[in-house]
Structure 1
Amino acid sequence: MWVLYRRGGLGDTLLTFPILELLKRSGRKVWVVGNTDYFVIAKEVGWADMVSSEMPKTEFKGKILISYEGNVKPFPEKRMWIVEHYLQSLSLRGEFSKVLPLEPAEKSPLKGCAVLHPSSGSWKKNPSLELFFRIEHFLKKEGYKTIYLIGEADSWLKDHIKSYFESYSPLEIAKALRAALFFVGLDSGLSHLASYCGIPTFIFYGPTDPIVWKPIGERIFQISLELPCSPCFPEVCEERSCFHAKALFAKFLRTFNALS
């Protein structure tokens, strides 16, 4: 059996899934260590055999330790997609799935909805809610049913919105998202999850890097103002001109209308 160790958020964890899939396809058993709420998705789709939050006292045939002290660095030294960085570091080759093989929830509260998620794990990556209120107004006027998604870092949103689906289970959210119409969010773990679930996903980038942190998926639409000072995360300025609501909304409209 092999072991893969990766601490981090939901997005960080999902970006390791191609490693697991390729290892399993080669006939290897895999034990994953990290946030079990996230890695349980890998077990659900058959890409992990065992899941735990701590490193087991077991002898492994191979170890993939993604950390600064491990044998795979958690971030690339040059500007490249982190999935490619991982696979190159491990000399792993082969095609991997762009969509998680999950069945949608039978009674998904997100079925047929445009899902909005204006939050992330860091305020530095969150634009003004004005951007999402503009998008919500536009979509409703176009006849779409909208609903906000609230995950583990988003309870603050309840003071500002009315219609929402709340869940702290990434697996439950994934199955619900499989039935959604499309998703609009930020550079966050739930945006990574939405794109991996196969639905059209519009993602706003401000201070973070859309090249390094591109999600896995087939229908991803990355939207940024492409300012010369971006990306700058985590050293983010107070002005955050990269999150100008009117300008980002205009780019969203152009992207959305081009697909209609």
Structure 2
Amino acid sequence: MKTKAIFTCTVLGIILLCSCGNKSTQNSSQADSATASAKDSARVSGIPCDITLPKIHFTKAVNGADTLAKADKNGKVTFRVGEKKDFFCDPNNKLSNNTAPILLAKVDNTRPFTFVSKVTSGFTKEGLYNAGVLYIYVNDNRWQKFCFEQDERGNHRIVTVRTIGTSDDNNHDVVTSPWVYMKISSDTHTVASYYSLDKNNWQLVRLYKNDYPAEIWMGISSQCPVDKGTTSYFDEISLDQNSVTDFRLGN
């Protein structure tokens, strides 16, 4: 009888522990969901604009982007930016700066999409962190930027920054070409960023779960966090509701 009682108590203890574990997991998931919802309901910057290119329509401008980006008849965008303009939410709040201008086009994130541009950044001798940038944008607290950027050693490299409240910062490959093709694509489940020198062979840079809301924005920007201003160029810009078929190769 004593053995049976011990066994019964042990089983009950395991059930109670599992129940507590399940509640803890549920509470954690609910907290994560609440955090994401709070980030999504944060302030959305920008004013309406109407810039129509052959394969994309920009309808929102952040920080005066519509006055700084000019498109020619072939759809090439010249995007100038003033001094100390950046978009970054520093975890220590020392370098936080959300003043960079961004042109945005709305995307239905319940469907696949691919956003591509040839990017020529306005690199200068003193232009630390100068970059031409592609964006996934929800609001000022939730976004990803994909940059062709000048680093601390003067190298020109691929950089990604993902922000959920605060920003991370990831430096990738050095590129010696004066320009690079950049692509962001999603099949609704996964979102990935790539670069290429010939628009045929794509290098995967970053991949993660697409947990963005149903309505998001894709954009272009020029940034100049340190220097007195620069100009970036965007050519062959396209946005369509199809995704790559191979997320490793980007094709």
Which category of TM-score, normalised to the shorter sequence, fits these structures?
under 0.3
Structure with the higher strand share, 1 or 2: 2
TM-score with structure 1 length normalisation?
0.21
TM-score w.r.t. length of structure 2: 0.21
Q: Considering only CA atoms, is the larger Rg found in Structure 1 or Structure 2?
A: 2
Q: Judging by fraction of residues, say which structure has more helix.
A: 1
Bigger relative CO (Cα 8 Å, ≥ 6 apart): 2
